[in-house]
Structure 1
């Protein structure tokens, strides 16, 4: 069991660390988009896509960088008492609070699944059935069969009118990675409670 837990922690931490280091460069992507927005307004015809694309880049930066932030302990926390505690006591408190975080991320994943299903044209109440049908159609019939499962694809109501499913899928993927990372943190906290390190 310990080998499996160590392999899980190494795999999740390694993937999220690599993705997090890549997402650090997202600040420059956002800055480039906003710089182009300013230049196009000053010297050319204003670009319709820049502000909304900057918002999408910010969402991707924040959500895909979140698991790395959790891994590095860079998230905001109240250090009034925590800094003075022993490693074991910190591990107990962290293990409890990680369970609360798992619940919260579970709610986010549920909402993201519903929102992404809506953006792919599903307007019913059971989005899980839609996802099952979509995956089954894709596996058995390929992309064309999956397209038949989808309805009217949601677009932004702005002048640019981009499809919204890609950013919603990125959010869903990021929330799943956050859940995997919180489980990794829980495994590390349980190991620290036992006096071990993973």
Structure 2
């Protein structure tokens, strides 16, 4: 493969790793927030109304940020009825076809995400609750993570093409 493509794959994989490790650390934030909520609600009898909602936002961030590393590490769910019986080149051909489906899906998702983010910015969209937080940050993170997933999907395309050609690209 061309050195530029190999660099793209290496950089994209590294970004996916960093974002994935950051996402994994969000579990501690969610746990801490829920423990804080339980303590203030049950021991102090002074509930904080923002804790559960912050945990929901953090869970959404965890979900979005985990997408690129899940693609990179091939940890997603797949039907293994006849895939597992294929040779590495056969698997790469199937994965290549599925990667194009994924790219189409992520492209549609990105268009919707950008539209939703633009609307949120124009209207200063807020969540209807006691805390009333802005949804702009989480929608912006969603768009950024969809772009990262698209970058990782293209990285997978290059890897599958290399496998089909009998070369290794990692």
User: TM-score, normalised to structure 1's length?
Assistant: 0.82
The CA distance in 2 between the partners of 1:46 and 1:65, in whole Å, is 31
> Runs in 1 of length 4+ with deviation above 6 angstroms?
none
1:161-180 to structure 2, matched below 5 A, reads 161-180=132-151
- How far has the Cα of 1:43 moved from its partner? 2.0
1:12-91 to structure 2, matched below 5 A, reads 12-44=12-44, 45-91=46-92
- How far has the Cα of 1:41 moved from its partner? 1.1
* Ranges in structure 2 where 5+ consecutive residues have no aligned partner: none
2:101 aligned residue: 100
2:118 aligned residue: 117
1:189 aligned residue: 160
Secondary structure, aligned partner of 1:77? coil
Q: How many residues align?
A: 168
Secondary structure, aligned partner of 1:82? coil
- How far has the Cα of 1:39 moved from its partner? 1.4
Secondary structure, aligned partner of 1:154? coil
The CA distance in 1 between the partners of 2:166 and 2:22, in whole Å, is 33
The CA distance in 1 between the partners of 2:135 and 2:24, in whole Å, is 23
2:5 aligned residue: 5
The CA distance in 2 between the partners of 1:26 and 1:175, in whole Å, is 18
User: TM-score, normalised to structure 2's length?
Assistant: 0.95
Secondary structure, aligned partner of 1:67? helix
- How far has the Cα of 1:166 moved from its partner? 0.3
